[in-house]
Amino acid sequence: MKKKLLVFALISFSFSAFFACKKEEQVLIQQTINDNIDKEIPITIQYLGKLLFYDPILSGKKDVACATCHHPDFAYADGRDLSIGVDGIGLGPNRKFLISSFTKRKSQTILNTAFNGMDANGKYDSANAPMFWDSRAKSLEEQALIPIKSAVEMRADIYSEEVAIDSVLARLRNIKEYQALFATIFGGQPQPITSANLAKAIAAFERSLVAMNAPYDRYMRGETSAMTDLQIQGMSFFQINGCGRCHTGNMFSDYQLHVLSVPDNPKASESDNGSKGTYAFRTMSLRNVKLTAPYMHSGVFKTLDQVFDFYNLILNSKSQNPNVPNTKIDPLATILRPNNNSRTAIMAFIDALTDEKFDRSIPKTVPSGLSVGGNIK
């Protein structure tokens, strides 16, 4: 895992940067480190990003963190059909809202988002990587700041969307530990605590969350016993039945928008019309999908069996959403052949895309002194 972090992280800083800072900054930084781990580690942009990811200081009422809806206990999703951000209490499926309401969609896992947009040849451009179910943001840096501005996700009604980021930056600038960490990592800037650096830090941590050693990966590297005979058979059926037309490449996603007529969640306040009102949503990666139920943007399917059933239902352009005409369903979905006789094998193959050995560590404290992960207990 340590080798992977070095490969996939944007920037890594050694102890030389740490010892180059002022003595009082060294004390503050080391105190923060000692609160979270048992031994010294290099000060890295990923480390700062992790603290920010778990710190509810980024939310309007200081009760929601990025980790509230992207928690390692749920493979960096939250195990819910629709997420609950501001004014919520509890974690995952047990989370309840006290005043506010559900967010618009199901929380996606951020495992392997470092590779969003990867094509079938393994090429990708991190600066233009599609983010969110409707691909409305490009790059993890752009994505990182959007929930902070969202009233239902993190901002609440404490300040307006226009001043949300500036308000959060002002808070961070008043916390000595963050002053020291930003200064060390982004040294040489008159004011290192900026929106750009905030986004870079969170994105760098998210890029470190890699789970790419599933049985499938080991099998493809030549470990023939890594997958069972049924899983190998399922890999063949996966292509024959047409699943691989959209779930393609090493990440098992074409990262394109498709209209499928997935039903709206009955808990939602209104119909979710997807990208630019077209009811199109981005293909999800199948990596670790076993760990991230329920499924689809609306979270309406509790199991992969139900997803399989859905694809059977939309054969011959039979829409399952009254807002989506039959003629609008993507042809790639209508030519699928989800043969029930091959279902068991395909499900076994999807299991082979699961790597449960990812970073599950959680900081013991965060520099703001607030509850780690937000109001989740």
Q: Are residues 167 and 315 in the same domain?
A: no
d(CA 344, CA 127): 38
User: Phi-psi region for residue 230, left (φ > 0), alpha (ψ -120 to 50) or beta?
Assistant: alpha
Give mean pLDDT, residues 215-243.
96
Mind listing the pLDDT tens digit for each residue in 255-281? 999 999 999 999 998 999 999 999 999
Q: Is residue 261 in a domain?
A: yes
Tokens of 225: 């016993």
Looking at the predicted structure, is the pLDDT value of residue 9 above 60?
A: no
Q: What is the pLDDT of residue 29?
A: 45
d(CA 368, CA 38): 20
Q: Which of 68-72, 179-183, 335-339, 356-360 has the lowest mean pLDDT?
A: 335-339
Q: Is residue 179 in a domain?
A: yes
Q: Are residues 203 and 265 in the same domain?
A: no
Residue in 314, 340, 351 with CA at minimum distance from that of residue 237: 340
Mind listing the pLDDT tens digit for each residue in 244-260? 999 999 999 999 999 99
| DSSP-assigned letters across all residues of 51-64 | HHHH-GGGSTTS-B
Q: What is the pLDDT of residue 140?
A: 97
Q: Are residues 274 and 245 in the same domain?
A: yes
Q: Which residue has the tokens 């292509």?
A: 239
Q: What is the CATH number of the domain that holds 226?
A: 1.10.760.10
Q: Is residue 17 in a domain?
A: yes
Considering the chain, what percentage of its residues have pLDDT values greater than 90? 82
Tell me whether the omega of the peptide bond preceding residue 42 falls within 30 degrees of 0, making it cis.
no
Q: Is residue 323 in a domain?
A: yes
Burial degree of 5 (CB within 10 A; 0-12, 13-18, 19+):
middle
Q: Is residue 358 in a domain?
A: no
d(CA 332, CA 335): 6
321-324's contacts with Cβ under 8 Å and 24+ in sequence apart are 321/261, 321/262, 321/263, 321/264, 321/279, 323/264, 323/271, 323/273, 323/279, 324/259, 324/261, 324/279
Q: How far apart are the first and last CA of the chain?
A: 29
Beta strands (DSSP E) in 112-174 are: 130-131, 137-138
Q: What is the pLDDT of residue 188?
A: 78
β-bridge pairing 96-97 and 130-131: unpaired
Q: Are residues 45 and 112 in the same domain?
A: yes
Mind listing the pLDDT tens digit for each residue in 362-373? 999 999 999 999
Q: Are residues 199 and 228 in the same domain?
A: no
d(CA 372, CA 258): 37
Mind listing the pLDDT tens digit for each residue in 145-171? 999 999 999 999 999 999 999 999 999
Q: Are residues 223 and 164 in the same domain?
A: no
Q: Are residues 171 and 258 in the same domain?
A: no
- Which of 186, 207, 228 is at the close of a domain? 207
What Rg do the C-alpha atoms of the chain give, in angstroms?
A: 21
d(CA 290, CA 74): 11
Q: What is the pLDDT of residue 24?
A: 52
Looking at the predicted structure, is the pLDDT value of residue 3 above 60?
A: no
Q: Is residue 364 in a domain?
A: no
- Break the chain down into helix, strand, coil percent, rounded to 5: 45, 5, 50
Q: What is the pLDDT of residue 334?
A: 84
pLDDT tier at 40, thresholds 50, 70, 90: very low
Q: Is residue 269 in a domain?
A: yes
Q: Are residues 240 and 120 in the same domain?
A: no
Mind listing the pLDDT tens digit for each residue in 310-355? 999 998 889 999 999 999 999 999 887 767 789 999 999 999 999 9
Mind listing the pLDDT tens digit for each residue in 123-152? 999 999 999 999 999 999 999 999 999 999
Q: Are residues 165 and 280 in the same domain?
A: no
Domain that holds residue 110: 2-207
Q: Are residues 297 and 151 in the same domain?
A: no
Number of structural domains in the chain: 2
Mind listing the pLDDT tens digit for each residue in 77-89? 999 999 999 999 9
Is the CB of residue 282 less than 8 Å from the CB of residue 133? yes
Q: What is the pLDDT of residue 36?
A: 43
Q: Are residues 195 and 220 in the same domain?
A: no
